[in-house]
Amino acid sequence: MALIVQKYGGSSVGSPERIKNVARRVARWKAKGHQLVVVVSAMAGETNRLIALAHEMQEQPEPREFDVMLSTGEQVTIALLSMALMDLGVQARSYTGGQVKILTNNAHTKARIMSIDEALIRRDLAEGRVVVVAGFQGVDMKGNITTLGRGGSDTTGVALAAALKADECQIYTDVDGVYTTDPRIVPEARRLKTVTFEEMLEMASLGSRVLQIRSVEFAGKYRVKLRVLSSFEEEGEGTLITFEEDQNMEQVSISGIAFNRDEAKITILGVPDRPGIAYQILGPVGDANIDVDMIVQNVSHDGMTDFSFTVHRNDYQKTLKILEPVVKHIKARGVEGGETIAKVSVVGVGMRSHAGIASTAFRTLAEEGINIEMISTSEIKISIVINEKQMESAVRALHKAFGLDQPA
Ligand code: ADP
Ligand code: ASP
Ligand code: MG
């Protein structure tokens, strides 16, 4: 008998029929004698609908109320799934994040899980019930409802698996595993049988939304056995996320191409080049809890330089506002920015031991006539900022250039 945490995403619970389908799968695992904790997302499109509704009331919805509302999507699906299970003769009970209780910090809309009180779940499991938990939500110390950021149900799943020391955490979604890139953009993409935590971490942070980055962090930290599978297929081994040392040494150099369109670029022009300037610019941005991603400072001419960085598009306007007084204070020439950028990244642990990856990437983009606006690299990735319009052709060209396309 194993203790298994399964998480089903929005499209997997997108209709009553699909929820019944999930119930049948859960019932099959239960019938094999396993203990099951099931985490579900809101039905497909529901979270977007709720967000749009909130924006009809307030341009910037008040964070506490926003979370009260966003969390309702998942509350519907936990009840529906529990009903579907009972209809199949499987004992089940649903819980909201607050009931479980999943304790988070108070950073509304992007809260972090701090602890999970698993006593209630264990009692239900011992009594033979399937426990159904709402993804994406928790409560802070004061009992306020919080949410974990888009895609946060993955993190609920993995955090529960860690807290319960589950034998496996299975993430069921609408693709049958982690691919070399998003199969919706590149039909030739290949499913990876395994991917290392490190690579998955990079891919998730660089935009592959198949797993929320925090779920991968949790899995790495608590050594959760994590697998991505399709909820639409009966069989299939999906993709197992492994630790690097488990892998054989015959590493391919590149495992995938990730991309995202969620960032915006900001450039401060004519910045006096003196010590402390980066701090003067980015300090106030960080203080406002805005994450800065890529940063580029140009060579200075006559003591002046341009300073560029990217932030999430949701934070773009807020960042520009924060910078207004800063620009005046440091006597820079001005600020310009754009929301029409995309970031494309080449990821692979094998990059460490293979030279020439960067030059292959740059040559490929040159041949496609794609202009590179920013570059950043780490040991296992190269990220490039380009015009959003050219993103798909860049992803396809790089996927092919690194030999990732499926053999025809
Ligand atoms: P869920 O609602 O189940 O959480 P998501 O939409 O969040 O599903 O994530 C699954 C989607 O992630 C897929 O439909 C696919 O388009 C996208 N995706 C992006 N990159 C990858 C990748 N490398 N491998 C697989 N899927 C990917
Ligand atoms: N329903 C939430 C979202 O759409 C959480 C999730 O699906 O993981 O982002
Ligand atoms: Mg998701």
**What are 94-120's pLDDT values in tens digits?**
999 999 999 999 999 999 999 999 999
* The predicted structure's pLDDT at residue 249: 47
Query: pLDDT per residue over 261-274, tens digit each?
Result: 999 999 999 999 88
Q: How far is the CA of 97 from the centre of ligand 1 (A)?
A: 24
CB atoms within 10 A of CB 102: 30
Q: Is the CB of 152 under 6 A from ligand 2?
A: yes
Check residue 345 and give left, alpha or beta (phi > 0: left; psi -120 to 50: alpha). beta
* The predicted structure's pLDDT at residue 40: 98
User: Residue of the nearest CA to atom 5 in ligand 1?
Assistant: 210
Q: Is the CB of 8 under 6 A from ligand 1?
A: no
Query: pLDDT per residue over 357-402, tens digit each?
Result: 999 999 999 999 999 999 999 999 999 999 999 999 999 999 999 9
Q: Is the CB of 151 under 6 A from ligand 2?
A: yes
Mean pLDDT of 212-218: 96
Q: Which is the closest atom of ligand 2 to the Cα of 48?
A: 4
Query: pLDDT per residue over 228-260, tens digit each?
Result: 999 999 889 999 999 866 555 445 689 999 999
Q: Is the CB of 157 under 6 A from ligand 1?
A: no
User: Residue of the nearest CA to atom 8 in ligand 2?
Assistant: 151
Residue 170 CA: which ligand is closest? 1
Q: Is the CB of 175 under 6 A from ligand 1?
A: yes
Q: Is the CB of 10 under 6 A from ligand 2?
A: yes
Show the 3-state SS of 11-61: HHHCCHHHHHHHHHHHHHHHHCCCEEEEEECCCCCHHHHHHHHHHHHCCCC
Sign of CA dihedral 324, 329, 332, 333: positive
Predicted TM-score of the model (pTM): 0.92
Mean pLDDT of 192-207: 93
